[in-house]
Amino acid sequence: MWNNEFIFLTLLVLVGNVQCDEEIICSINNKTAVIKRFNHSLPLGFYEEEVEHCLIANLTSTLEQVTTLPENHSIKSFEVYLVKNFERWSLRNKYFHLPENISSIFPELIQYKVKYSKVRDIIKNNFQGLTKLEVLELENNKIVGIRRGVFGGLTSLIVLNLAGNEMEYIQKEAFVGLDKLEVLDLNTNSFLKISRTVFKGLTSLETLDLSTNSIETIDEKAFEDLKKLKTLKLGFNSLNDLKRGVFDNLISLVQLNLEQNYIKYIEEDTFASLLNLRTATFVHVRRSENCISKNFEGVEAMQELNSLVKTNCSGWWP
């Protein structure tokens, strides 16, 4: 839907002048907006207000300066991408802080993306008032965890990407209120355990990516609210066993990826409730690492999977 409405821009360059004069140029479809400080006594302001997407790259000022703008209802996509000028920028700031109350500047935002920008902490005020936001991407930063309520109020959110951070924890019920969320990407972080209430309330979720973490344990019924989930990625973790109940209520699940784990024990009937499962991936580079050493695809293959669990994986329970 919104994919066809927003066109990503080529990399833009922030021009810094002496005496702190600055200019950011955002352009799309032959329309141009200039965010500019016209003199030292005035805040940054729009010269033209016809642009839907604004990308700020190679930032040399603080984002707080940029967001002292008057209200501009035409900006629907706002992106910050700092990696190109990272070394010079990071000499002054160890971590990048997202601005608070950005909705007062860009009240019509549908997409908000901050990538490769060394963001460490996120708080509720970073996203307060963004009731129309559908896509929030914060991948490849330095975020260490998610506190409960930080995404409160994002009632229209469909896609949340937190991949490539340094997260070790998510507080219980951290995603409650995201009733429309369909895609949650948490791959390439540092989780050790998935607790039972972490994903509570995500009743519309269809894709969950937890691959490439260090997950050793998943609590029973950790996914119990995810009745619409179709794809679950748990590959490249440190799972050693799977207990009955871990996949309870995943009645819509079609694809389950467990490749590159160390699964030696699977309790009987662990997959029995996955009535719509059509693809299950287990293969490890060293096949002997798993009690299941093949992948499965199709209805009949699921019957074979359940049979192999009984014969190969449930003989002894740790």
**pLDDT (tens digit per residue) in 128-169:** 999 999 999 999 999 999 999 999 999 999 999 999 999 999
Helix (H, G, I), strand (E, B) or coil at 303: helix
Rounded to whole angstroms, the Cα distance separating 188 from 258 reads 15
Alpha-carbon gap, residue 225 to 120, rounded angstroms: 29
- The whole-angstrom separation of Cα 202 and Cα 226 is 6
Between CA 166 and CA 193 the distance in angstroms is 14
Query: Given phi > 0 = left and psi -120 to 50 = alpha, else beta, which region is 58?
Result: left
pTM here is: 0.82
Q: CA-CA distances (angstroms) from residue 105 to 12, 76, 130, 159?
A: 21, 11, 11, 22
Integer Cα distance of 176 and 277 in angstroms: 27
Give the number of other CB atoms < 10 A from CB of residue 275. Answer: 12
**Is domain 143-318 classified as CATH 3.80.10.10?**
yes
Q: Domain ranges for the chain, please list them.
A: 1-113, 143-318
- Taking only the tens place, the pLDDT of each residue in 256-282 is 999 999 999 999 889 988 999 999 999
How many Å separate Cα 109 from the centre of its chain? 18
Residue 60 has pLDDT above 50, yes or no: no
Give Cα separations from 195 to 13, 155, 171, 240, 246 (angstroms): 43, 24, 9, 16, 11
Query: Two tokens at 81?
Result: 């991408």
Rounded distance between C-alpha atoms, residue 162 and residue 146, angstroms:
10
Confidence band (pLDDT; 50, 70, 90) for 11? Answer: very low
